[in-house]
């Protein structure tokens, strides 16, 4: 190296040898802008690897690392213009082994006879020949060492071997002590303070135990930082006076006139907790999450009416116009005769209509307004916002939630989601909110069962639709794409095919609002038997006569979406059925195995990971370097309790 002087952690990555402007841009796109970011770019997982002088039968099926010299490289063409490059190596002890690369013909010239390389991969055997599968081939001076092979998140445009080299260089060049200014709260005394050796152990551990000890320490540091921020939010809210919502004696009688059913035990508990909290003095914040059909909207309506009775306004934010319209229709119907006027504010309203609603809201003449992002608009203001209700929170960013909250003087907040949230994500995403869960469905409303059907058994599905329609039911058919160009499996083409046999309508996100509204109204009013659409049908269409949900290509949907779709049917007197038509995978198997939304949420988190499940805009979960929100539940709870107990 030209310069071995210690570098400040906030130095640009271009301060290292081998990182030019283009490489620096690629690193920055992955969140690595400084040398500190590079040093703290921890691996996502680690594998045990055996370093061998020669392949042996005893290590078959194991991850191995072999030093080898190339003695042959051959390109062969396969049918269909496919190719295979076979590279023969000789190990240190003279035992040959082979690696193969498919459809990368240019690699044939990259491996010249006599070249020395380190090969990592799974050791296998074909006949009497050793083969290294899923090979990773690197130059000897860039190869990892030791019995643990760490794996980093992919950085587009940067090979893992180059990334490893830059991280190793940064660890040697940076003053690591400046990265360790961390204070842990009391109650976590058995955890060691992070050290420079732990940073090294994250990237080049001597063994698995050393790596896990270091990872747990840095995960704890991240968890403490997270909960300190959340606790600041909680304590700030506790020192602010919120709207006082006294619950009058007439409130229960009013609710009995509004709701056509009795509370479940879960609903009753949630209602009682909310009523106590609405009386202040501090503004309350709750996450109300529950399975499909457990009655979250009814619980929210109880809090909303109590807030309105106390002289304040309620803003109800929905993620889509379809869902906002559905809430508006159902809540308006329930409030009919109650004396409470409900308004709708969505972007597709005519300018004059929007202006009239905004004027009424600003003057305090509209006590209850339901809408989409139009509620967040700068041109929308409230006279006395007392309660903010946000439906399907996972479709909004945290900042969008706060934009609406800031339109009032510390209003109460109720966040709802029909996607049950695993405990780890409840802690990390909504740690500033108290949690209420609804698990029980109203009596006589069991969750529809899910069945899987192979794609080539589509005639069976048509027979099922015909059977449900003949018995007085209706059917949804949901497709992953609109298919306006007529592609197979698209909603447009499926609707055209089904229209030959059934009274059928089509709904998708690119339709004009009036056309979409008219189609859903026709289905709700029994003017057609089948409604075909995309996932705009996931939420917002509530038709008691619908008994069959058909999901085309379910392998293209996540578990939570499939579970939401299943919950759209069986809302009347008859139990519904959800038919999944396509290619089986772990998600379809999970849906057919259980109808418990909380269990499915945990499985979804396990299969997909936290960042993908709820999205980076939600939480910054993808920013965690060592913390695993899936596996570190106990550590998260310890960190939260320690932070809350701290002065």
pLDDT at position 608 is: 65
pLDDT at position 337 is: 80
For the domain spanning 449-594, the CATH number is 3.40.50.300
Q: Taking Cα atoms as reference points, which of 474, 473, 530 lies closest to residue 507?
A: 530
pLDDT at position 55 is: 96
> What are the two backbone dihedrals, phi and then psi, of residue 99, each rounded to the nearest 5 degrees?
-125, 150
Instruction: State pLDDT tens for residues 211-267.
Output: 999 999 999 998 898 888 878 877 777 778 888 898 888 888 888 888 867 888 999
Which residues touch 404 (CB under 8 Å, ≥6 apart)? 315, 317, 375, 376, 388, 390
Question: Which H or E element spans position 208?
Answer: helix 208-238
Q: How far apart are CA 327 and CA 297, in angstroms?
A: 9
Across the beta sheet with 504-507, the strand order is 449-454, 577-582, 546-552, 474-478, 530-533, 504-507
| β-bridge pairing 129-138 and 116-126 | antiparallel
Give ranges for CATH 2.40.50.140 in the chain: 50-143
Cα separations in angstroms, 83 against 99, 132, 151, 306: 14, 18, 28, 70
Q: How far apart are CA 612 and CA 414, in angstroms?
A: 24
Q: How far apart are CA 220 and CA 208, in angstroms?
A: 18
Give ranges for CATH 1.10.150 in the chain: 1-46+148-174
Q: Does domain 1-46+148-174 have CATH number 1.10.10?
A: no
Give ranges for CATH 3.40.50.300 in the chain: 250-438, 449-594
**What tokens does 430 get?**
């909504």
Q: How far apart are CA 645 and CA 187, in angstroms?
A: 9
pLDDT at position 420 is: 66
pLDDT at position 444 is: 61
pLDDT at position 1 is: 44
CB neighbourhood size of 92 (10 A)? 13
Which residues touch 137 (CB under 8 Å, ≥6 apart)? 87, 99, 117, 118, 119, 120
Architecture of domain 50-143 in this structure: Beta Barrel (2.40)
pLDDT at position 548 is: 93
| β-bridge pairing 434-438 and 504-507 | unpaired
Give the position of tokens 């269990």. 599
User: Does pTM surpass 0.75?
Assistant: no
Which CATH number among 3.30.70.260, 3.40.630.40, 3.50.50.60, 3.40.50.300 corresponds to the domain 250-438?
3.40.50.300
Residues of the chain with pLDDT under 50: 1-2, 540, 611-622
CB neighbourhood size of 275 (10 A)? 16
pLDDT at position 617 is: 36
**What tokens does 483 get?**
């298919």
Question: Which H or E element spans position 399?
Answer: helix 398-405
pLDDT at position 613 is: 41
């Amino acid at each position: 190296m030209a310069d071995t002087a210690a570098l400040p952690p906030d130095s640009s990555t271009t301060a290292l040898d081998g990182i030019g402007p283009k490489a620096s841009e690629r690193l920055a796109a992955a969140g690595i802008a400084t040398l500190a970011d590079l040093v703290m770019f921890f691996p996502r997982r680690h594998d045990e690897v055996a370093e061998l002088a020669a392949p042996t039968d005893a290590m078959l099926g194991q991850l191995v690392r072999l030093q080898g010299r190339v003695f042959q490289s051959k390109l062969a063409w396969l049918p269909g213009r496919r190719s295979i490059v076979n590279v023969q190596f000789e190990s240190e002890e003279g035992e040959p082994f082979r690696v193969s690369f498919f459809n990368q013909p240019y690699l044939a010239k990259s491996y010249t006879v006599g070249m020395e390389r380190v090969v990592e991969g799974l050791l296998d055997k074909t006949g009497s020949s050793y083969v290294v599968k899923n090979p990773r081939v690197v130059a000897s001076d860039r190869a990892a060492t030791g019995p643990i092979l760490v794996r980093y998140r992919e950085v587009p445009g940067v090979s893992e071997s180059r990334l490893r080299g830059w991280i190793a260089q940064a660890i040697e060049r940076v003053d690591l002590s400046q990265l360790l200014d961390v204070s842990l709260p009391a109650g976590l005394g058995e955890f060691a303070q992070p050290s420079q050796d732990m940073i090294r152990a994250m990237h080049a551990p001597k063994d698995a135990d050393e790596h896990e000890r270091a990872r747990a320490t840095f995960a704890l540091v991240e968890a403490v930082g997270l909960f300190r921020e959340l606790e600041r939010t909680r304590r700030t809210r506790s020192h602010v006076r919120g709207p006082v919502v006294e619950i009058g004696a007439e409130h229960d009688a009013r609710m009995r006139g509004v709701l056509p059913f009795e509370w479940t035990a879960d609903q009753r508990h949630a209602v009682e907790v909310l009523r106590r909290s609405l009386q202040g003095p501090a503004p309350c914040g709750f996450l109300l999450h529950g399975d499909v059909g457990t009655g979250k909207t009814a619980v929210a309506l109880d809090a909303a009416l109590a807030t309105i009775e106390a002289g304040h306004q309620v803003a109800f934010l929905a993620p889509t116009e379809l869902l906002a319209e559905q809430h508006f229709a159902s809540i308006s119907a329930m409030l009919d005769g109650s004396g409470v006027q409900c308004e709708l504010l969505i972007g597709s309203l005519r300018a004059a209509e929007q202006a009239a609603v905004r004027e009424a809201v600003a003057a305090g003449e509209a006590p209850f307004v339901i809408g989409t992002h139009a509620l967040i608009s700068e041109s929308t203001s409230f006279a006395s916002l007392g309660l903010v209700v946000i439906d399907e929170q996972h479709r909004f960013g945290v900042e969008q939630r706060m934009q609406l909250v800031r339109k009032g003087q510390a209003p109460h907040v109720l966040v709802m989601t029909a996607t049950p949230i695993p405990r780890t994500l409840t802690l990390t995403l909504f740690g500033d909110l108290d949690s209420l869960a609804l698990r029980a469905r109203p009596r006589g409303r069991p969750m529809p069962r899910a069945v899987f059907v192979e794609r080539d058994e589509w005639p069976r599905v048509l027979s099922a639709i015909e059977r449900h329609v003949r018995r007085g039911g209706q059917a949804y058919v949901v497709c992953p794409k609109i298919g306006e160009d007529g592609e197979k499996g698209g909603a447009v083409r499926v609707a055209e095919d089904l229209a030959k046999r059934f009274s059928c309508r089509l709904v998708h996100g690119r339709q004009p609002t009036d056309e979409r509204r008219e189609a859903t109204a026709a289905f709700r009013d029994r003017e057609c038997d089948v409604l075909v659409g995309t996932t705009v049908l996931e939420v917002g269409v509530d038709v008691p006569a619908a008994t069959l949900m058909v999901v085309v290509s379910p392998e293209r949907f996540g578990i939570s979406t499939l579970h939401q779709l299943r919950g759209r049917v069986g809302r009347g007197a008859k139990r519904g059925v959800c038919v999944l038509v396509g290619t089986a995978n772990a998600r379809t198997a999970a849906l057919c195995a259980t109808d418990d939304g909380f269990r499915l949420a945990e499985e979804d988190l396990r299969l997909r990971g936290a960042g993908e499940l709820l999205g980076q805009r939600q939480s910054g979960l993808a920013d965690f370097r060592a913390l695993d929100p899936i596996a570190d539940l106990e550590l998260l709870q310890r960190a939260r309790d320690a932070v809350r107990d701290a002065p």
